[in-house]
Amino acid sequence: MPGYTQTADGRMDTAAGRAGAEEDAQLVAHGADVEGMRMAIRVACHGITWGRDLMQTVKDLQTLGFRGFEAFAFVVDDYGFERLSEFKDLLAQHNLQLVALYGGGAMHDPALHEELVARNVRLARFLAANSANRLVLGPGRRRPNGSTRDDLLNQVHCMNEIGRRTLEYGVQACVHPHVNTAIQTIDEIDFVMDRVDPRYVAMAADTAHLRKGNPTVPTAEVDMFRKYASRIKYVHLKDWDPSLPPEAIGEGGTAVIRDFVELGLGVVNLKGAIDALRDASYDGWLTIELDYTRRTPFESVRMSRDYLIQKLELSL
């Protein structure tokens, strides 16, 4: 691998390979739209708060002034390539663009690797057909006693192959450390990020999952944003209130977690995370995400939007 060496324990030595020019060359070589992948900070919203009601999602997001949104992979299952034009027309009618899809899966299970690579490549094809270039890789369900070394190495292998294949469509794969999954703690994150090939796998950093997933490290979200700022290519913005019941519905990276709250109502240091990105000249999407609302999806997202504009000094 030109510009990269691998240590005896499988870690990637990337010092020479992180230069911007070389990164651009790698992306161009794989057909990526580099100009489209390098942009000023923009804010999108995840459709998770509305569940599977895509029609209401796009209607509300247009009313709230968003231009970009992320969706779960169900939109590919529902629309597929046969109804691609219908999906694109729906977004165009609401002045929205797809910016990312949430994929991944139980990548720690080697028996599923072939299936998961194929599924995530299909998601990348759908993204490319919609001029989008970010694929979020959510890990699978966490073992009761945490991830083993083999679990982590299996994920590295699977993600590298997914990322290599998705980059052929100009889509950057981004691993998403997530509570209750096989990549949650700082040690697990460091282990994986030391070993994935940075040409193929970046990070989708989530403010609340980093904080909640490392409860003994109250600065975890800012620490991780600063440490991996150059490798963060996509971001989920959410807040966490540890006083709420930590119940979750579902499994692994697609679970709905009910103690996540609207921006500004929890303990996450959102400003510190954003400052870390600004200091690193981050250029990409920040996506508001809220698993569960005690209000309405519209009201919750409006609250987060207003906090983001008024307190974090960002704009849509």
Pick the CATH number of 39-310 from 3.30.465.10, 3.20.20.150, 3.40.50.450, 3.40.50.1010: 3.20.20.150
CA distance 277 to 225: 7
Residue extents of the structural domains in the chain: 39-310
Provide the H-helix boundaries in the chain: 20-29, 34-37, 54-64, 74-79, 84-93, 113-129, 149-167, 186-195, 207-212, 220-227, 270-279, 297-310
Where does residue 58 rank: exposed (0-12), middle (13-18), buried (19+ CB within 10 A)? buried
Q: How far is CA 15 from CA 6, 174, 198, 206, 305, in A?
A: 12, 19, 11, 25, 37
For the stretch 254-306, pLDDT in tens is 667 889 999 999 999 999 999 999 999 999 999 999 999 999 999 999 999 99
In the chain, which stretches have pLDDT less than 50?
Answer: 1-4, 14-21, 23-24, 27, 33-39
pTM of the prediction?
Answer: 0.88
DSSP secondary structure code for residue 165 in this structure: H
In this structure, what token pair is assigned to residue 304?
């987060």
